[in-house]
Structure 1
Amino acid sequence: MAVDVQTETVIARPRDQVAAYAGDPDNAPEWYENIASVRWRTEPPLRAGSQLDFVARFLGRTLAYTYRVVEYGPERMVMRTEQGPFPMETTYTWEELDANRTRMTLRNHGEPSGFGKVAAPVMAASMRRANAKDLARLKQVLEADQG
């Protein structure tokens, strides 16, 4: 059973600012509740082909995984991990609604194997809650920084 979770929010900031902040892996621990750390495997700046090691806590477990950026641009970023029992693709999209409002969509899609297949519905529900909290935190951080 595939897991496919999509969450979105509208942030009162221009698209380029939202994309620059949210698309910078070094900022991830600030707005992602479950991400403990990010380490670059390849040299910055971020681009297609970049590789990043993430350490996260999810469902009571510590997970270490490597994302490879497969697409990066002003409107969209796609990262994939292929190792482990739950290969995952994460997509960020940034849609300009007007000069000062951006719709950000966060999508996680994966095809769990082994025990992950059985736990997929629980994982999807937990991911949906976590993503909603993460986007709310991102909105809070970016909108508070308007001074």
Structure 2
Amino acid sequence: MSVDVEVETTILQPTAVVAAFAGDPTKAVEWYANITSVVWQTPPPVAVGSRMEFVAQFLGRRLAYTYEVIELESERRLVMRTADGPFPMETTYTWEPAREGATRMTLRNRGNPAGFSRVVAPIMERAMRRATTKDLVRLKALLEAGED
């Protein structure tokens, strides 16, 4: 069973502001509740081929994985992929102008769990949806408060 979770929100900030903040992996610890650290393995800034190690807590487990940027369209789209661990994952951020001065951001996580992760995939999908929805709420609050 594959897992595919997509959530979106509208943030009352221009696309350039939202993409610059959300598309900077270093900022992930500020708006993702489960991410505890990000360490660059290649020099910043983000570019195709950039690699970052993320450490997260999810469903009571510590997860460490390395994302590689596989696609980047400035202020429009960022795609990162990891093949690490029992749950290879692809994360996609998209940004597009909404009403004047606002941005619609979509966050999509999809992957094909292997081993035991395959058995708990439906539970993981629900937990991921809850977590990413909360993460976008946090991102929206940070950016709309001007804490970028």
Asked if TM exceeds 0.5, the reply is yes
Give how far 1:21 is off: 0.3
Give per-residue Cα distances to partners, 1:116-141, cap 9 Å, x unaligned: 11000000000000000000000000
Unaligned runs of 5+ in 2: none
Map of 2:28 onto structure 1: 28
Map of 1:90 onto structure 2: 91
Tell me which amino acid in the other structure corresponds to 1:36.
T
Unaligned runs of 5+ in 1: none
Tell me which amino acid in the other structure corresponds to 2:109.
N
Give per-residue Cα distances to partners, 1:84-128, cap 9 Å, x unaligned: 110000000001113411000000000001101100000000000
3-state SS of the aligned residue for 2:127? helix
Map of 2:144 onto structure 1: 143
Give per-residue Cα distances to partners, 1:20-76, cap 9 Å, x unaligned: 000001110000000000000001111000000000000000000000000112200
Tell me which amino acid in the other structure corresponds to 2:34.
N
Q: d(CA) in 2 for partners of 1:45 and 1:8?
A: 25
Map of 2:16 onto structure 1: 16
Map of 1:46 onto structure 2: 46
Taking structure 1 as the reference length, the TM-score comes to: 0.97
3-state SS of the aligned residue for 2:119? helix
- Aligned-residue CA RMSD in angstroms? 0.9
Taking structure 2 as the reference length, the TM-score comes to: 0.97
* Aligned residue pairs, count: 146
Q: d(CA) in 2 for partners of 1:78 and 1:99?
A: 26
Q: d(CA) in 2 for partners of 1:41 and 1:99?
A: 37
Report sequence identity in percent: 60
